[in-house]
Structure 1
Amino acid sequence: MALVSGIDVIEECTSRGLVAGAFNTTNLETTMGIIEAVERVGVPTFIQVAPTNVALSGYEYIYDMVSRRLATATTPVALHLDHGKTIQSVEDALAARFTSIMIDDSEASYDDNVATSSRARELTPRSLALEAELGSIGGKEDDVAPEFAATTDPAQVAHFVETVGVDMLAVSVGNQHGYVPNASIDFDLLAQVRDASPVPLVIHGGSGLPAEQLGRLHEFNVVKVNVASDLRNAMIRSFGEAYIANPKEVSLIRVSTGAVAAIADVVEARIRTLNPSVA
């Protein structure tokens, strides 16, 4: 199946009461592991990459790698720009044929966030999904932490969504990027944001949240949950365990295949946790 628009993933998930995992890739092993798991479970999914990670390969390589692997897949998958901090990153991802875009100017003032996000909407065709962030999510994304973190103000949600024209809204409701011991969803705040938002919500920082909280997110009009650290840790751990088992190991194929399997198991577990109704 060819890559689909993020709009298609959103619509299928909302119609079926599902939550799409959004899994960050950087390389071939991670991509193959993600898609293997997606095919096992059959839940529409986002594969995504942040600008901090395209330094290794460029947007075009990510597109080619994902689209080629998906050619033999059957589950709808969108290719998403994660945390596009600049309009240039939006333009670069669109030029590389990404099918879903995130603009993140959440650390700016509200008015500046509206202005930057609106510009991203002008550039992003309505046939493709646009995500923006309101409230600044704490923790670290690729070792980059925000200068400040702030929860989403429910009173700003409707105006922001309608003014910008986003298709989904990333919110800060206790979730944090990376592994943060005290990360915990404030479900009372999340309910207020849900009630104020005309569009589905996005939760970043899925790696650090308890499974019991991830399993409740479908109740709050959450359509997308980002997971990155879990996958990266699985790959690094797999390679490390292979080296410890045999410091003279020279079969990169054998070790890489083990990493693909480890990543697939993590992705499958996360998809099932997010979707308790999936057998």
Structure 2
Amino acid sequence: MALVSGLEIIEECTSRNLVAGAFNTTNLETTMGIVAAVERVGVPTFIQVAPTNVALSGYEYIYDMVARRLADCPVPVALHLDHGKSIGAVEDALAARFTSIMIDASEEPYEENLAVSARARTLVGPELALEAELGSIGGKEDDIGPEQEHRTDPAQVGRFVAEVGCDMLAVSVGNVHGHAPDARIDFDLLARVREATTVPLVVHGGSGLPVEQLGRLHEFGVVKVNVASDLRNAMIRAFGEAWVANPNEASLIRVSQQAVAAITEVVERRIRVLNPVVG
């Protein structure tokens, strides 16, 4: 199946009360592992990449790699720009034919965030999905993160969503980027944010949240949960364990296949946890 618009993923997930995993890729092994898990479980999904992770390949290579692998996949998948910190990043992803976009000006003052996000809306247009972020999510991805966490203010949500026109809203409600085993969702705050808007919500930092919390997110209008660190750790661990077992290991393909299998296991487990109805 060809890549679909993020709007299609949102529509199918909301109609079926599903939560789409949003899994970050960087290379071929990660992409292969993600798609293998998606094919097993059958839940619509976002595959995404952040600007910090296109330094090696560029957006076009990521598009070509993901689109080629998905040609034989029967499950709808959108290719998403994760944490586009600038209008330039949005333009680059759109030029490479990404089908879903995040603009993240959450570290700017509220009015600046609103203005930049609204500008991104005009660029993305009505056919593709736009995710914006209100409140600044703590932690770091690729050693990059905000100076401080700033949780989403429910009182700001209504105006922000209305003026930006975003299709998804990323929120800061106790979730933390990166490997953060002590992270916990503030469900009271999440419920108040949910009451302030009908736009589907996004939770970043899915790698650090406990299983029991991930399994509840569908109750609060969450349509997308980002997972990155778990996948990266699985791949690095596979290569590290191969070297420990044999410092003279020279079969790159064998170790790469082991990494793909490890990533597939992580992704499948996360999709099932997010969607208890799937089992």
- Whether the TM-score (by the shorter chain) exceeds 0.5 is yes
Specify the alignment match of 1:25 in structure 2: 25
Partner of 1:36: 36
Q: Distance in 1 between matches of 2:168 and 2:181?
A: 27
Alpha-carbon deviation of 1:145? 1.6
Distance (whole Å) between structure 1 residues aligned to residue 5 and residue 77 of structure 2: 8
> Map of 1:120-139 to 2, 5 A cutoff?
120-139=120-139
In 1, the alpha carbon distance for the partners of 2:205 and 2:11 equals 23
The AA in structure 2 aligned to 1:252 is L
What amino acid is the match of 1:257? Q
What SS is found at the alignment partner of 1:207?
A: coil
Residue 169 of structure 2 is aligned to residue 166 of structure 1 = no
Letter in 1 for 2:162: E
Taking the aligned partners of 2:156 and 2:198, their CA distance within structure 1 comes to: 12
Q: Is the 8 A contact 2:21 2:225 kept in 1?
A: yes
Please give the alpha-carbon distance, in whole angstroms, between the structure 1 residues aligned to 2:142 and 2:38: 24
Q: What residue number does 1:272 align with? A: 272
Letter in structure 1 aligned against 2:262? A
CA contact 1:23–1:227 (8 Å) conserved in 2: yes
Gaps of 5+ in 2: none
- State the 1:80 CA deviation: 0.1
TM-score w.r.t. structure 2 length?
0.99
The alpha carbon displacement at 1:198 in A equals 2.2
Query: CA separation in 2, counterparts of 1:109 and 1:11?
Result: 31
- Tell me, yes or no, if structure 1 residue 86 matches structure 2 residue 79: no
Distance in 2 of aligned mates of 1:181 and 1:125: 38
Query: Which residue does the alignment assign to 1:15?
Result: 15
Instruction: Please give the per-residue CA displacement for 1:63-93, whole angstroms capped at 9, x wherever unaligned.
Output: 0000000001000000000000000000000
Counterpart AA for 2:111 = D
Aligned to 2:233: 233
Q: Pairwise mapping of residues 38-77 of structure 1 onto structure 2 (< 5 A)?
A: 38-77=38-77
Q: Secondary structure at the match of 2:52?
A: coil
Q: Secondary structure at the match of 1:206?
A: coil
Counterparts of residues 205-216 of structure 1 (less than 5 Å): 205-216=205-216
Question: In the alignment, what sits opposite 1:151?
Answer: 151
SS at match of 2:46: strand
Q: CA RMSD in A?
A: 0.6
The residue number in structure 2 matching 1:219 is: 219
Instruction: State how far apart, in whole Å, the 2-side matches of 1:121 and 1:2 are.
Output: 24
In structure 2, what is the equivalent of residue 202 of structure 1?
202
Whole-angstrom distance in 1 between the partners of 2:44 and 2:143: 29
1:246 aligned residue: 246
Aligned length: 279
What code does the residue aligned with 2:200 have? P
**Alignment-mate amino acid for residue 263 of structure 2:** I
d(CA) in 2 for partners of 1:194, 1:84: 24
Answer with 217-226 or 243-252: which moved more: 243-252
CA distance in 2, matches of 1:176, 1:249: 36
Is the CA contact 1:158–1:198 (under 8 Å) kept in the aligned structure 2? no
Q: Deviations over 1:125-154 (max 9, x none)?
A: 211000000000000011112112100000
**SS of residue matched to 1:199:** coil
Instruction: Show the counterpart of 1:102.
Output: 102
1:134/1:172 contact within 8 Å kept: yes
Q: Retained in 1: the 8 A contact 2:6–2:46?
A: yes
1:6 partner letter: G
* Preserved contact between residue 180 and residue 207 of structure 2 (Cα < 8 Å): no
The structural deviation recorded for 1:232 is: 0.1
**Stretch of structure 1 that moved more, 245-254 or 56-65:** 245-254
AA at the equivalent of 2:74: T
The amino acid of 1:219's aligned partner reads E
1:91-147 deviation digits (Å, cap 9, x = unpaired): 000000000000000011110000000000010021100000000000001111211
Counterpart of 2:89, as a letter, is S
Q: Aligned equivalents of 1:262 and 1:182: distance in 2?
A: 24
Amino acid at match of 1:120: A
TM-score (norm 1): 0.99
- Between the aligned partners of 1:207 and 1:182, the Cα distance in structure 2 is 11
Structure 1 consecutive aligned stretches of length 4 or more whose deviation exceeds 3 Å: none
For 1:208, give the aligned amino acid: G
In structure 2, what residue type is equivalent to 1:79? L
